[in-house]
Amino acid sequence: MNTKLHAICDSQGRPLNLFVTAGEVSDYIGARALLGSLPNVEWLLGDRGYDADWFREALKDKGIRACIPGRKQRKTAVRHDKRRYKRRNRIEIMFGRLKDWRRVATRHDRCPKVFLSAIALAATVIYWL
């Protein structure tokens, strides 16, 4: 049993919104679920898993510029700001800090709701208290 955690973070790497999907599910499911809760921002940084034309169009409709590198299978290359993309390490650091909590790292909880609650509790203690 594995899961993917999708997160919306602020510029300091603090999680604002979290969503859990099954591990074998595409990242597009998490992107679609979190699209409605995006804050009013100028840029969105994401990894290659979120590279989809519909997602880029949805971001453009909201007035958000995407900094997402294109997948390697794309026939036409997608340009992205490499300097800005390096700031995505804050998001990876956030995931690493959440996994410092043993319950989150080892996924003791079978129920996805309980697991997401444990992640939310860890994020609250780490970043907001």
Q: What CATH code is assigned to 3-128?
A: 3.30.420
pTM of the model: 0.84
At residue 71, the pLDDT reads 85
Sign of CA dihedral 66, 42, 34, 116: positive
- How many alpha carbons fall within 13 Å on the CB side of residue 109? 15
At residue 76, the pLDDT reads 82
Q: pLDDT tens digits for the chain (129 residues)?
A: 688 899 999 989 999 999 998 888 888 888 899 998 999 999 999 888 889 899 999 999 999 999 999 888 888 888 888 899 898 899 999 999 999 999 888 888 888 899 999 999 999 999 988
At residue 1, the pLDDT reads 61
Q: Report the alpha-carbon distance of residue 57 to residue 122 in Å, rounded.
A: 33
At residue 9, the pLDDT reads 93
